[in-house]
Chains A and B, each alone.
Chain A
Amino acid sequence: MALKPAQKALGPIRRSFAPWLDPAAVPLIRFENVVKRFGDFTAVDDVSIDIHAREFFALLGPSGCGKTTLMRMLAGFEEPTSGRITLAGQDLVGVPPYRRPVNMMFQSYALFPHMSVEQNVAFGLKQDKLPKAEIEARVKEMLRLVKLEPFASRKPHQLSGGQRQRVALARSLAKRPKVLLLDEPLGALDKKLREETQFELMDLQMELGLTFLIVTHDQEEAMTVADRIAVMNHGKLVQVATPGEIYEQPSCRYVAGFIGDINLFEAEVAASAGGLVTLKSDEVGATFSAAGEASPGASVALAVRPEKVRISIDPPPADATNVLKGEVWDIAYLGDWTVFLVKAENSEKIVRVSRANVMRSETQPIAWDDKVHVWFAPDAGVLLTS
């Protein structure tokens, strides 16, 4: 996608946007101890989240983790069993969906098949009984925004998947809601179109200055579009943080494993001094040193991302830490990256190492069954206690 100059100007705003760090900031949306039960099944279990105005917020988790239910409670299609949901200070519990200042873009798009593109976009505005001229002007504006002007009089079944997605977006934005809810909005698009649309969504959100709440099971999508991500599992909130923090500072084994690939070394704390922890791992029969603090005797997991592990056939430099010997088990060449699966010596542990292919060719390529050394710095890993 070509970058327009206008988008460049948004850079500084994005860079300094972090209202969640400001203790004086008043959140726009507050979920307070929200619980939702369906019979015996607890879909949402005591969730509290604050979402700020103009934030692009993602709810991420596997299917059935309660993220969609949480969003549907904000839209008004479900009522919480207990807890409170407020929007700009107003308690939303008991307010029917048609009186809430939020709009939703549905996973299935839910376009009205008996109405044209224009009528679909105008539907919400007609419910507000706006003057005819204003409705027309707004519909035009929305269709221009999503580049669908030539298709105004078409019916939904006469559009391609990507065009339908745009109609759904235009329809949900037409009423200028305080909050736009997006339920797996790009699930039905192919990979290339999905990536393009992700960037377009971000720009749109910035330009219109709206608050977006997206539900997705695609971690890449969440990382791309969101200012902050809430990771959910089994109805519980696991971690809320920026994409960078989620990736580099996962709070527990679940988040570490759910977002991206990771090596988890189960170990016991042998000593802790001066911000450096010595770990004894029976799993790989090695001793690690890692940055951090922990009480001796505790069992922890050392989580190291594959790209932070180095690999070579030659012995590593003398000052290298956390060195493991092993044998190349498998290689996946991905073009930009190569992923090596290395079986650690004297154990069943497979270490995942990824390396950027900076050069077009190598003098001494690593091949299957090669004896290699892998190592990582003490600050490359994160200590996980839960």
Chain B
Amino acid sequence: MKKGLSSVNIVALTFGFAFLYLPIVLLVIYSFNDSQLVTVWGGFSTRWYVALLHNEQLLEAAWVTVRLGLISATLATVLGTLAAVTLTRMTRFPGRTLFSGMVYAPLVMPEVITGLSLLLLFVAIGLDRGFLTLLLAHVTFSMCFVAVVVQSRLITFDKSLEEAAMDLGCPPFKTFLVVTLPIILPAIVSGWMLAFTLSIDDLVISQFTTGPSATTLPMRIYSSVRLGVKPEINAVCTIMIAIVTIGVIAASVATKRAESERVKAERAAAAGR
């Protein structure tokens, strides 16, 4: 086999990466642009980051987004986990097929429709649009993602572990808390992270369901871009990219470390030490 990369491979890689990351790199570079104009380079500066700190509107929007993400992801995780447990454990109850279909409907439903129908609902029951309606909407669409992740873990879960716990005198609910939950915790955590990401990222459904009292960061960014891109937006986006990158790297390092420790332990056990 030939060593190294052929010229075709190099070209393909270059174009691939450029396509994926060039826009992001440009955005990061221009966030340090001294010029007022987004597309003209006027020297290096961090003035937009400083300006950010004084932009109350953006800070307020960021705070709403984070709060919304944390609360909605947590609620969605609780509900999604319960749905997953019900669907995997109770194989027969009236309306199971309907329930299973309904849980996954938001996965394939166009966001515009979800958003519009939620808006109609809130109007119909006379709920004032604001943080609460935003929260309800986010829980609604992110809960099904949690259910999918947790359910796929529960399907491979060895049921005899729960039976063993009950056999040793542990009642069913406590068994769920001390045996099932700790074992499926990684899936629940990744479900939560998925829900959180979806929540801070959402624009369409938020637009439909919010009121003047609560504006999220994506909404703020979107509306300010319509009035012309300010370098401040680049700075906000750069910070968001940095947070996401750090999160992804930390998660993959943690997974790799856990994996290598597991392999080492298994080798030691096989060698009989």
* A contact residues vs B (CB 8 Å cutoff): 75-77, 96-99, 102-104, 106-108, 110-114, 123-124, 127-128, 155, 157-160, 163, 171-172, 175
Cβ–Cβ < 8 Å partners of B161 in chain A:
110, 112
Whether B164 lies near A98 (C-beta < 8 A) is no
B163: chain A residues at CB < 8 Å are 75, 77, 97, 104, 106, 110
Q: List B residues at the A interface (Cβ < 8 Å).
A: 158, 160-161, 163-172, 179, 182-183, 262, 265-266, 268-270, 272
**Distance in Å: Cβ of B153 to nearest Cβ of chain A:** 13
Instruction: Known A110-B160, A157-B269, A158-B268; judge A103-B166 contact (CB<8 A).
Output: no
> Which residues of A are found within 8 Å of B272, using beta-carbon distances?
160
User: Given A108-B158, A110-B160, is A98 in contact with B167 using a C-beta cutoff of 8 Å?
Assistant: yes
Known A-B contacts A157-B262, A157-B269, A160-B269; the reply to A97 vs B166 at CB < 8 A is: yes
A327 CB → nearest B CB, Å: 50
Give me 19 other A-B pairs in contact (C-beta within 8 A), A75-B167, A103-B167, A157-B265 excluded: A76-B167, A96-B166, A97-B167, A98-B172, A102-B167, A104-B163, A104-B164, A104-B167, A106-B160, A110-B160, A110-B161, A112-B161, A157-B266, A157-B269, A158-B266, A159-B269, A163-B269, A171-B164, A172-B167
With a CB–CB cut-off of 8 A, which chain A residues contact B172? 98
Q: Point out the residues of chain B lying under 8 angstroms from A108, CB to CB.
A: 158, 160
B123 to chain A, nearest CB (A): 48
Determine the distance from Cα of A127 to Cα of B170 in the docked complex, in whole angstroms: 6
The residues of B that contact A102 with a CB separation of less than 8 Å are 167
Q: What residues of chain A lie closer than 8 Å to B164, measured between beta carbons?
A: 104, 106, 110-112, 171
CB distance from A356 to the nearest CB of B (A): 36
CA separation between A209 and B164, bound complex, in Å?
Answer: 23
Chain B residues with CB under 8 A of A128: 169
Knowing A110-B160, A114-B182 are in contact, say whether A98-B269 is a contact too (CB < 8 A): no
| Residues on A with beta carbons closer than 8 Å to the beta carbon of B270 | 160
B38 to chain A, nearest CB (A): 51
Q: If the complex has contacts A106-B160, A155-B265, are A98 and B171 also in contact, measured as CB distance less than 8 A? A: yes
Q: A residues within 8 A CB of B171?
A: 96, 98
Q: Which residues of B contact A77 (CB under 8 A)?
A: 163
**What are 12 contact pairs spanning A and B, CB under 8 A?**
A75-B167, A97-B163, A98-B167, A98-B170, A98-B171, A106-B164, A110-B160, A110-B161, A111-B164, A123-B165, A157-B266, A159-B269
Is A158 a contact partner of B269 (Cβ separation < 8 A)?
Answer: yes
Report how far A77 CA is from B167 CA in the complex, Å. 9
**B262 proximity list for chain A (CB < 8 A):** 157
Closest 6 CB pairs of A and B: A124-B168, A127-B169, A110-B164, A110-B160, A158-B265, A97-B166
Report Cα–Cα, A127/B191, bound state, in Å: 31
**C-alpha gap A114/B179 in the complex (Å):** 8
CB-nearest residue of chain A to B270: A160
Whole-angstrom distance between the Cβ of B187 and the nearest chain A Cβ: 14
Question: Which of chain A's residues has its CB closest to B171's CB?
Answer: A98
Using known A-B contacts A155-B265, A157-B269, determine if residue A124 contacts B160 with beta carbons closer than 8 Å: no
8 Å CB contact of B183 from A113, A157, A160: A113
Q: How many Å lie between the Cα of A163 and that of B265 in the bound state?
A: 14
Provide the bound-state CA to CA distance between A159 and B176, in Å.
25
Distance A93 CA – B167 CA, assembled complex (angstroms): 15
- Is the pair A98, B266 in contact by a Cβ cutoff of 8 Å? no
Docked pose: A112 CA to B270 CA in angstroms: 19
Give the residues in chain A near B269, CB-CB below 8 Å. 157-160, 163
Which residues of A have CB within 8 Å of B182? 114
**Chain A residue nearest to B262 in the complex (CB):** A157
Q: How far is the CA of A75 from the CA of B268 in the complex (A)?
A: 35
Chain B residues with Cβ below 8 Å from A98 are: 166-172
Q: Report A-chain residues with C-beta under 8 Å of the C-beta of B169.
A: 98-99, 124, 127-128, 175
Chain A residue with the shortest CB-CB distance to B271: A160
Query: In the complex the two chains form, what is the Cα distance from A292 to B213 in whole Å?
Result: 98
* Alpha-carbon distance between A104 and B172 when the two chains are bound, in angstroms: 17
B169 closest partner in A (C-beta): A127
Q: How distant is the Cα of A172 from the Cα of B179 in the complex, in angstroms?
A: 16
B168 touches A171 (CB 8 A): yes
CA distance A124 to B164 in the complex (A): 9
Q: A157-B262, A158-B268 are in contact. Are A112 and B166 (CB under 8 A)?
A: no
Residue of A nearest to B181 (CB): A114
Q: Within the assembled complex, what's the spacing in Å between the Cα atoms of A157 and B270?
A: 10
Contacts of A97 in B (CB 8 A): 163, 166-167
Residue among B165, B166, B272 with most chain A CB within 10 A? B166
Q: Is the CB of A112 within 8 A of B165?
A: yes
User: Closest residue to B266 on the A side, CB-wise?
Assistant: A157
The CA-CA distance from A112 to B269 in the complex, in Å, is 17
Contact: A123 with B168, CB < 8 Å? yes
List B contacts of A124 (CB < 8 A). Answer: 168-169
Do the beta carbons of B265 and A123 come within 8 Å of each other?
A: no
Chain B CB count within 10 A is highest, among A97, A102, A128, A163, for A97
A172 to chain B, nearest CB (A): 8
**A220 CA / B265 CA spacing, docked (Å):** 34
CA distance A107 to B164 in the complex (A): 11
Q: Are B183 and A114 in contact, CB atoms less than 8 angstroms apart? A: yes
Residue of B with least CB distance to A100: B167
Q: From residue A110, how far is it (CB to closest CB) to chain B in Å?
A: 4
**B143 CB to nearest chain A CB (Å):** 26
Alpha-carbon distance between A116 and B169 when the two chains are bound, in angstroms:
19
